[in-house]
Amino acid sequence: MGLTRVRAVFFDLDNTLIDTAGASRRGMSEVIKLLQSKYHYKEEAEIICDKVQIKLSKECFHPYSMCITDLRTSQWEEAIQETKGGTHNRRLAEECYFLWKSTRLQHMTLAEDVKAMLTELRKEVRLLLLTNGDRQTQREKIEACACQSYFDAIVVGGEQKEEKPAPSIFYHCCDLLGVQPGDCVMVGDTLETDIQGGLNAGLKATVWINKSGIMPLTSPIPHYIVSSVLELPALLQNIDCKVNLSV
């Protein structure tokens, strides 16, 4: 394969372009306030939210068996039951879930500097948003952060046969943009999906966003590591310079 300049960049969404973790924390703190003020829960409010957070992190979602609203309401229902005992309280679970979800979506915004970066990059390369997850959940986030206009294409894992790190979803992205894997760079915060997937598909480069600064002890090993997505333009210039030098 000849040496080529970067022609396309694939971006992950959650905790790469938007602060999903921070938005979720804001949602949880609103639920804690609700449980304490309206229902007079004390420390149980925080225990319930901690339990839901753990359930979310272990979530295995199968779109054919249940809708995401039912699944996540059930997580709240179980957490309340496990903490408070007594009978199941579906109404309260729904109230908590919808408050968490609506607060979370309100705080899912593209920062102005990220918008500016995407706008500038798109003058040089094609941009694609590649996000894993349930179709409804991810489409709601995309709508909330109003990011559609910054991308040439958007691909949601839950709408495809396979999600990241399967090579097939990366090849589908390449087809949408009319590029080869060797023309593309994947940018994301998750080693197991974003970086492993980019490596599996034979992309030109993978860029891991490591906000914590703690280095992983195991593979996959990304080609590049940055602490913020805003470091990407300089890095892409560097990658293209290497191509020029090699030629």
Arithmetic mean of pLDDT, 8-27: 98
> What mean pLDDT, rounded, does the chain reach?
94
Q: What is the pLDDT of residue 87?
A: 92
HEC-encoded secondary structure of the chain: CCCCCCCEEEECCECCCECHHHHHHHHHHHHHHHHHHCCCCCCHHHHHHHHHHHHHHCCCCCCCCCCHHHHHHHHHHHHHHHHHCCCCCHHHHHHHHHHHHHHHHHCCCCCHHHHHHHHHHCCCCEEEEEECCCHHHHHHHHHHHCCHHHCCEEEEHHHCCCCCCCHHHHHHHHHHHCCCHHHEEEEECCHHHHHHHHHHCCCCEEEEECCCCCCCCCCCCCCEEECCHHHHHHHHHHHHHHHHHHC
Q: What is the percentage of the chain residues whose pLDDT exceeds 90? A: 86
Topology, domain 21-107? Four Helix Bundle (Hemerythrin (Met), subunit A) (1.20.120)
What's the pLDDT tens digit per position in 25-69?
A: 999 999 999 999 999 999 999 999 999 999 999 987 776 678 899
CATH class of 8-19+109-241: alpha beta
Q: What is the pLDDT of residue 1?
A: 40
Q: Is the pTM of this model over 0.85?
A: yes
Arithmetic mean of pLDDT, 196-214: 95
What's the pLDDT tens digit per position in 214-247?
A: 888 788 999 999 999 999 999 999 888 776 655 4
What's the pLDDT tens digit per position in 97-143?
A: 999 999 999 999 999 999 999 999 999 999 999 999 999 999 999 99
8-19+109-241 with 21-107: one CATH topology? Answer: no
Res. 2: pLDDT tops 70: no
The residues spanned by each domain of the chain are: 8-19+109-241, 21-107
